[in-house]
Structure 1
Amino acid sequence: MPKAYVFTRHGGPEVEAFADLPVPEPGPGELLVAVRAAGVNPVDWKLRNGYTRPGSAPATLPAVLGSEASGTVVATGPGVAGFAPGQAVFGCPLTGGYAEYTLMPVAVTAHKPDTLSFTDAATLSVAAATAYDGVRQLAPAPGSTLLVTGAGGGVGAAVVQLARHLGVRVIGTASAAKKDLVESLGAVHVPYGPGVADRIRAAAPEGIDAVYDLVGGDDLTVAAGLVRDRAKLISAGGKQLAAELGGAAVRRARNAAVLDEVARLVVGGVLRPHVTQVFPLAEAAQALRTVEGGHARGKIVIEVAE
């Protein structure tokens, strides 16, 4: 039977395990996909811990980990148009990406361009799409200054690149270990830690026009005290706190049109996924620990099949 990496109950890493699961059957509007690669994201371990996405039902256990994947269509469910077996796709799996087979809804699945690798495609449906949605929501003007908290992670790296493409000056907070990465993307690096507000002011003496927060907590609170207009503060890391501070959560589109657009930006050279580590499915635990520990530079991907 096909292998998958699951969580058997809500909790910490101790609830994760490999499991042999039957090949799922695609329902109406669904695709059965043989997974080639799966992106690793913070939401993966948050769902394992018990987080439930707004509007979603609690996970049916055991639940396969993984919120973004790429692969090849094996079969289509009733009423599906525009997709056929053998086609390469990427998107947001319904039944988890850390598996040899998964189901994908056609509403949040896109065709993979031939020039886009399966590894890079597996990073787009959560990380790159979240970055794209938020930058579009902020609509920063050319020449303005954007503060990105958590600029060295998968979403942060994409935010920096998209903003720089629009002619925006970017200040990126990240650990000292991620300084080279943040600067290579075209942002001014500011290290975390005590005194970060003063370091941001020194890096942007003209002030901060907008904030894209990916960290939450104290970093979001500091950022809120620096931005000119809190209506230009959005967060994917502390949504409730952002609202309390006068900002807003990142509004996710979650549709195939956005996936097509981010793929176009990658193929066109505007956006680089910055995959820094690739793990085999057998090492899914190590891949998730890298992200959960907050030490990931860029994107981490699990290669399920060659």
Structure 2
Amino acid sequence: MPKAYVFTRFGGPEAEALVEQDRPSPGPGQVLVAVRAAGVNPVDWKQRTGHSRPGGPARELPAVFGNEVAGVVEEVGAEVTGFAVGDEVFGNPVAGGYAEYALLPATVTAHKPAELSYQDAATLPVAAATAYDGVRQLDLPEGATLLITGAGGGVGVAATQIARAFGVRVIGIASDAKKDFVESLGAVHVPSGPDLAERLRGAAPDGVDGVFDLVGGEVQEAAATLLGDPAKLITGADRRTAARLGGGPVERARNSAVLDEVAKLVVEGKLRPFVTQTFPLDRAGEALRTVEDGHARGKIVIEVGG
């Protein structure tokens, strides 16, 4: 029977297990994918603790970990067009991706370019797609200045590269330890920590044209002081603070077109996924610990088959 890495209840790592499950069958609008690689994200372990996306469905237990995969189409459900058995694809699974097989909605699945590895493709549907949606939402003109908080994290790294690809100047807030990395992406680094507002004013004495917040709280508040138009503040971390300051959340498109666009940026060399570690499925717990403990540099990927 196919294997999957699941959490059997809400809680800590003790709730995780590698189990055998029946091979799923695609429903209308779905494709069944033989998974080759699955991306690991902070949201994965957060879901194990009981966290859910606002407005998202409750998870049925046991629940398979994972929110992004790449693989090969094994079966196509009713009402699906544009996909066939044998197609190489990537996207957001219906209910987990740390598994030998996963169901994907065709609307959030894209064809994987031949030039793109399964490992790199599996990193795109969550962080890179969120970053793309946010940068497009701000719609800053070429030459404008974008301030990104949490620029050294998964979404921040992708947003920095995407914004630079669109000709936007980027100022990135990140820890001192990530200074060289953030600057290698083409951003001006501003170290996080006490007296952040003063350092931001030094980096952008004329203010900024947009803020892409990925930290929230006091960091978001400090960043917002540089904005002339509060509507140009978006957040993927702290909606309440953003609303109070006149901004709003990142508006997610969640469609195949965005996945096609981020894949194109990778193929063109404008977006690097930065896969730094891979783990086999039977070591998925180690992959999760690397992300949950905050020790990950770049993207962590679980290799499943192939």
Which TM bucket (shorter chain)?
Answer: over 0.9
| Secondary structure of residue in 1 paired with 2:4 | strand
Cα distance change of structure 1 residues 26 and 128 upon mapping to structure 2, 3 Å threshold: same
Report the equivalent of 1:4. Answer: 4
Report the equivalent of 1:147. Answer: 147
Partner AA of 2:219 in structure 1: D
Cα distance change of structure 1 residues 192 and 163 upon mapping to structure 2, 3 Å threshold: same
Runs of 4+ in 1 over 4 A off after TM superposition: none
Q: What is the TM-score with the length of structure 2 in the denominator?
A: 0.96
Question: Does the 8 A contact of 1:178 with 1:297 survive in 2?
Answer: no
Q: CA deviation at 1:302?
A: 1.4
Question: Does the 8 A contact of 1:130 with 1:155 survive in 2?
Answer: yes
Question: Does the 8 A contact of 1:153 with 1:299 survive in 2?
Answer: no
Separation in structure 2 between the aligned mates of residue 267 and residue 275 of structure 1, nearest angstrom: 15
How many aligned residue pairs are there?
Answer: 306
Q: What is the TM-score with the length of structure 1 in the denominator?
A: 0.96
Question: Does the 8 A contact of 1:153 with 1:296 survive in 2?
Answer: no
Partner AA of 1:62 in structure 2: P
| Secondary structure of residue in 1 paired with 2:96 | coil
Report the equivalent of 1:175. Answer: 175
1:116 and 2:89 are equivalent in the alignment: no
Q: Unaligned 5+ residue runs, structure 1? A: none
Separation in structure 2 between the aligned mates of residue 150 and residue 278 of structure 1, nearest angstrom: 24
In angstroms, what is the RMSD of aligned CA positions? Answer: 1.4
| Secondary structure of residue in 1 paired with 2:234 | strand
Separation in structure 1 between the aligned mates of residue 229 and residue 295 of structure 2, nearest angstrom: 31
1:129-148 equivalent positions in 2, closer than 5 A = 129-148=129-148
Report the equivalent of 2:278. Answer: 278
Q: Percent identity?
A: 66
CA deviation profile, 1:137-188 (whole Å, cap 9, x unmatched): 0011222211111111221111101111122111111122222211110001
Separation in structure 1 between the aligned mates of residue 174 and residue 132 of structure 2, nearest angstrom: 20
Separation in structure 2 between the aligned mates of residue 114 and residue 265 of structure 1, nearest angstrom: 14
| Secondary structure of residue in 2 paired with 1:55 | coil
Q: CA deviation at 1:290?
A: 2.3
Q: CA deviation at 1:61?
A: 0.3
| Secondary structure of residue in 1 paired with 2:55 | coil
Judge which range, 12-21 or 259-268, deviates more.
12-21
Separation in structure 2 between the aligned mates of residue 187 and residue 146 of structure 1, nearest angstrom: 10
| Secondary structure of residue in 2 paired with 1:237 | coil
CA deviation profile, 1:280-301 (whole Å, cap 9, x unmatched): 2222222222222333322221
Question: Does the 8 A contact of 1:120 with 1:275 survive in 2?
Answer: yes
Partner AA of 1:219 in structure 2: V
Question: Does the 8 A contact of 2:148 with 2:212 survive in 1?
Answer: yes
Cα distance change of structure 1 residues 141 and 259 upon mapping to structure 2, 3 Å threshold: same
Partner AA of 2:131 in structure 1: A
Separation in structure 1 between the aligned mates of residue 158 and residue 109 of structure 2, nearest angstrom: 20
